[in-house]
Structure 1
Amino acid sequence: MRLSRSFLPVLKESPSGAEIASHKLMLQAGLVRQTAAGIYAWLPLGQRVLRKVEQIVREEQDRVGQEMLMPTIQSADLWRESGRYDAYGPEMLRITDRHDREMLYGPTNEDMITALFRDDVNSYRDLPRMLYHIQWKFRDERRPRFGVMRGREFLMKDAYSFDLDEAGARLSYYRQLLAYLRTFGRMGIKAVPMQADSGPIGGKLSHEFLVLAPNGESELFYDAAVEEIDFERDGLSYDDADALEALFKEATGVYARTDETHEEDLWADVPAERQRTGRGIEVGHIFYFGDKYSKAMGLKVSGPDGDITPMMGSYGVGVSRLVGAIIEASHDDNGIVWPEAVAPWKVGIVTMRADDEATVAAAEDLYAKLKAAGIETLYDDRDERGGVKLGGMDLMGLPWQIIIGPRGLKNGVVEVKNRRTGEREELTPEAALAKLTA
């Protein structure tokens, strides 16, 4: 992508009204623009990151379930059937259509998925099942703030499991826990699973996943052992119930937390040398709620000894919220520092002198070769001062920069910069290409 042909509006000054780093940097680097309170347009740079995050979520969910897509607008009748319409609260945006039918902009989909499953599944042989979708949702926050971290409209992955009994439902829960650990690990962030209140979703088993970040909304006390869990270890599969239960105990039994679920006794048992404190940002929440919805909405399947009411769970990941959380966990004074897996482009090329023929020719050659090798590259070919271009690249946070100028080319080299470490090395254009395509 050539920057001269791109819509990447970078702000020269820090935006007013933005309270946390991710909000400031997403506005300043041109990822998003606010269109109404708590509602954001995702500009091309932000959209590229959002899709990278979404795809990692999708790939890990495909290992445990099947993707579908439910509508954003739902009938109020479904929510009355489950008993949640009046109980949910003012966060639900209620709508009346032209025929005076009561509708709502869905904040979640337990009611709808239960109805869909009820209408098409009849036999116990059709269970277990795990279904998910990735969809925009709306919750009318009283005080939207912190940019996409607490907006009113957001992109969310929500999955729903259907099992014959509690043992099967817990196995589905453990599978999702593993999928979440793998998802966040692939994104280059640490997320600690914390016991949580079920809130309006309901149920007796619930965990939040909190990304460790200095400006997190929750204060955490946790065992350092949770950072060392190897969720890709040999023999750990989605079908080994004993191994998954062991992972669940390992991942959720080594923490305490300063809120209503704080466990003083558990914290006291953590060896002093492993006690850690920090702050976290919620990016995922999983629930097991048994027959709360299936019973209320009359979902039954025929079994060998009579009808069975399936046990259910739901599993959410804040896809758009993750973009902000990654920035909170990975930035410095100069801008965003993207983990490579979610970076909008892997490499940024900067010409220090756009009026120097040799510099432009070298940049064009490297740009063409990187693209041919399948490396996502942003080429700043604008007629701007070198310092402006370098500042923009640091702000956007691409993992690698190739800096090309007349002085280096006289010696047959370009400069390659690692955005995360700040390390720079001078390499021939051929060596730079080999390093970035390895």
Structure 2
Amino acid sequence: MPTKWTNSLIPTSRQDPSDAEVPSHKLMIRAGLIRKLGSGIYDYLPLGLRSLRKAMEIVRREMDAIGSAEVLLPSLQPIELWEKTQRRDAYGQNLFVVKDRHGREQALGPTHEEVITELAAAYFSSYKDLPKTLYQIQTKFRDEFRPRFGVLRSREFQMKDAYSFHTKLEGEGGLNEAYDKHYAAYCNIFKACGLPYLVVEAEAGPIGGNASHEFMAPSPTGEDIILQSSSGNYAANIEKAEIGPREYDLSAEPTAPLENIHTPNCPGITDVVAKLGITELDMLKTLVFEASLKTDEDLEQEHAYEAQYTPGAREFVPERFFIIAVVRGDHEVNEAKLLQTVKEKINPRIEAVALIEEHEAVRHDFAIGYVGPQIGATAPLTRVIVDFDAAQPNTSPSGWVTGANKKDCHVKHFNWKRDLTSKLRSDDAVVVSDIRNAMAGDPSPREEGHTLSETRGIELGHIFKLGTKYSEALSATVTDENNNAVPMFMGCYGIGVNRILAAAIECNQGHDDNGIIWPAAIAPFQVVITPIKYAGEVAEAVDKLAIDLEASGHDVLIDDRKERPGVKFKDADLIGFPIRVVIGDKGLANGEIEVKARNGSNGDRGENIALDTAVAKISEMLKSI
């Protein structure tokens, strides 16, 4: 039966909420889809829940189509599982941890890798049990420091997460095959939801794994920065985006003596630029990182080794050392790229790089805020890694300006050869590599002569090849064809279901000054019928048309309120129903009704059509919305 407005709960508002910053947050509250209960916590009202369920059903349909089986896992998770995988520390304060009455700690799951791996270990014992893919749509929790943007960054959210299990990477039944199936399924999901999207290369982050793609909805309000090649054959988020080939030269002769400059209270690039009247392009930004193995035992051994050396000695410990990372002053160090460079060009066993802690900097005589690359010639246990754009001669009047490795002091005319490389004992002591965030205008990594452009996007989904990270940590093994116990290869595939709704509104065609413009697939109702006055023959015509439309597969809301037509029209536009039908006495007397597409595809004022052709006409219109 068609739904009547007066039987539902649709509290529309003309005023933006005071704490809302982006269109989806403002409009979802104003249109009566959601209501804020607390910081980052929202009630889903009838219209919002209808759209959420529609998105869920599209997700279920495509997951079932690739042979996945649905489960429902608990939100409460034993903290011991998170400690076994070392992710309790990785998630840090974003992880909700609660205690039960017995004092036992539990995690409110932001994701379910540990739980699903424990389940797989209980039921999968042989290679004959695999491959298998399990998925769920579940409430997740994240203790956001600053919840914002409505359902885009909330503390409680709905997520589809799927996990695949395999005994091999390649071939039939392998992880790579499942990854490709999920990639295609995600494309189908976002197309079916009516969303524009981009697929970009991405970092795995705290989930882990070695291959990763994000599905992003382009939006000017998106929190993520995407770099795209002008050739159209490459896209990646800013954490992952590579930069095309760039030349470098560390051998140029100096053009002026090194000049010390007193720069009191100027630890930042902006401060120095203002004081010396130079630009950020004239500066070298030098940051100190610590590279290390992950285990405490390894770290203790390296601390003991390091203690043998005085600051004057220059020794290199291969398993724990400091990195002097150098980029041009207008660039930012990319820690993921820095770690990749360390693993590829220095030591593949290194598990982490992190900015040096203040107490460690003091202990090792690093003058944070005033560090320059030349310290790499004297500091113990260091390696210098330089981005290509910084590994150049600088012909400006000031030359390169950088820290003097002394508080309140910088130097002008730093020269790579004179001040660093000529003082080192080996040619490979300085590594030149891509270690910065990409920017618009950088060369494309995929095609010579093309450049990167920058856009913003909202993350909708993320897929990962996890490998054996979790199966090894949780002893999830199966016997192979030779009866040997082997850890299962795993894939992980997530979609933020709430984000589908918000992204549909945030994209350029998803809203206007009057309100939301829904794609038909996830609109709370596809058609709203608005009688001028819901009574008599008009009411009979409204009811019959609604029933006929629903019989044709379209969901309908009847606006039966005793309100002025203008109020009803404004609410219909605010909520964004794809099709609005207006029925009044005058039109009905001529056998006509007014039909208007919310996206304006049949004109700003809509069109009058014959009532007896309405079902066919509306069905045809909805196909393109």
Q: How big is the shift at 1:374?
A: 4.0
Q: How big is the shift at 1:372?
A: 4.1
Matches within 5 A, 1:207-222: 207-222=213-228
Deviations 1:134-189 (A, max 9, x none): 10000001010000000010000001111112222122111111111111011111
1:386 equivalent in alignment to 2:565: yes
1:146 equivalent in alignment to 2:149: yes
- Which 10-residue stretch deviates more, 215-224 or 331-340? 215-224
Q: Given the superposition, is the C-alpha separation of residues 9 and 224 from structure 1 closer, same or farther in structure 2, using an over 3 Å criterion?
A: farther
Contact 1:354 1:384 in 2 (8 A): no
Deviations 1:311-366 (A, max 9, x none): 112111001121111111211211111111111111111112346x4433432332
Matches within 5 A, 1:235-314: 254-257=234-237, 259-265=238-244, 267=444, 269=446, 277-305=454-482, 306-314=484-492
1:205 to 184, 206, 211: 211
Q: How big is the shift at 1:214?
A: 2.5
Q: Given the superposition, is the C-alpha separation of residues 400 and 79 from structure 1 closer, same or farther in structure 2, using an over 3 Å criterion?
A: same
TM-score by length of 2: 0.63
CA distance in 2 between counterparts of 1:359 and 1:277 reads: 53
Q: Given the superposition, is the C-alpha separation of residues 383 and 271 from structure 1 closer, same or farther in structure 2, using an over 3 Å criterion?
A: farther
2:94 to 84, 91, 94: 91
Deviations 1:40-71 (A, max 9, x none): 11000000000000110111111221111100
1:180 equivalent in alignment to 2:198: no
The residue matched to 2:543 in structure 1 has which SS? helix
Q: How big is the shift at 1:121?
A: 1.1
CA distance in 2 between counterparts of 1:35 and 1:267 reads: 46
Aligned-residue CA RMSD in angstroms? Answer: 2.0
1:365 equivalent in alignment to 2:544: yes
Query: What is the letter of the counterpart of residue 212 of structure 1?
Result: P
1:376 equivalent in alignment to 2:542: no
CA distance in 2 between counterparts of 1:87 and 1:354 reads: 59
What count of residue pairs does the alignment treat as equivalent? 410
CA distance in 2 between counterparts of 1:45 and 1:36 reads: 20
The residue matched to 1:166 in structure 2 has which SS? coil
The residue matched to 1:156 in structure 2 has which SS? strand
The residue matched to 1:47 in structure 2 has which SS? helix
2:107 to 104, 114, 118: 104
Q: How big is the shift at 1:78?
A: 1.5
1:349 equivalent in alignment to 2:529: yes
CA distance in 2 between counterparts of 1:299 and 1:374 reads: 46
Query: What is the letter of the counterpart of residue 327 of structure 1?
Result: I
Partner residue of 2:51? 49
Q: Given the superposition, is the C-alpha separation of residues 178 and 22 from structure 1 closer, same or farther in structure 2, using an over 3 Å criterion?
A: same
Q: How big is the shift at 1:85?
A: 2.4
CA distance in 1 between counterparts of 2:528 and 2:601 reads: 14
Partner residue of 1:427? 609
Larger Rg: 1 or 2? 2
Query: What is the letter of the counterpart of residue 409 of structure 1?
Result: L
1:166 equivalent in alignment to 2:169: yes
Q: Given the superposition, is the C-alpha separation of residues 286 and 129 from structure 1 closer, same or farther in structure 2, using an over 3 Å criterion?
A: same
2:494 to 291, 306, 316: 316
Partner residue of 1:333? 513
CA distance in 1 between counterparts of 2:448 and 2:505 reads: 31
Query: What is the letter of the counterpart of residue 285 of structure 1?
Result: H
The residue matched to 1:89 in structure 2 has which SS? helix
Contact 2:243 2:444 in 1 (8 A): yes
Q: How big is the shift at 1:15?
A: 2.0
Q: How big is the shift at 1:274?
A: 10
Partner residue of 1:117? 120
Contact 2:580 2:596 in 1 (8 A): yes
Contact 1:219 1:279 in 2 (8 A): yes
Contact 1:82 1:296 in 2 (8 A): yes
Q: Given the superposition, is the C-alpha separation of residues 212 and 271 from structure 1 closer, same or farther in structure 2, using an over 3 Å criterion?
A: farther
CA distance in 2 between counterparts of 1:403 and 1:422 reads: 17
Deviations 1:93-151 (A, max 9, x none): 10110111111111111111111111111111111111111100000010100000000
Q: How big is the shift at 1:427?
A: 1.0
Query: What is the letter of the counterpart of residue 213 of structure 2?
Result: H
Partner residue of 1:235? none
Contact 1:255 1:267 in 2 (8 A): no
Deviations 1:285-327 (A, max 9, x none): 1111211111111111111222221111211100112111111
Q: Given the superposition, is the C-alpha separation of residues 93 and 269 from structure 1 closer, same or farther in structure 2, using an over 3 Å criterion?
A: closer
Q: Given the superposition, is the C-alpha separation of residues 66 and 303 from structure 1 closer, same or farther in structure 2, using an over 3 Å criterion?
A: same
Structure 1 unpaired stretches of 5+: 227-252
Deviations 1:226-247 (A, max 9, x none): 6xxxxxxxxxxxxxxxxxxxxx
1:190 equivalent in alignment to 2:183: no
Query: What is the letter of the counterpart of residue 222 of structure 1?
Result: Q
1:10 equivalent in alignment to 2:12: yes
Runs of 4+ displaced beyond 4 Å: 223-226, 268-277
Contact 1:221 1:267 in 2 (8 A): no
The residue matched to 1:122 in structure 2 has which SS? coil
Contact 2:136 2:162 in 1 (8 A): yes
Query: What is the letter of the counterpart of residue 94 of structure 1?
Result: V
The residue matched to 2:444 in structure 1 has which SS? helix
The residue matched to 2:612 in structure 1 has which SS? helix
Q: How big is the shift at 1:72?
A: 0.5
Q: How big is the shift at 1:260?
A: 2.6
Structure 2 unpaired stretches of 5+: 245-442, 621-625
Query: What is the letter of the counterpart of residue 18 of structure 1?
Result: A
Q: How big is the shift at 1:377?
A: 0.6
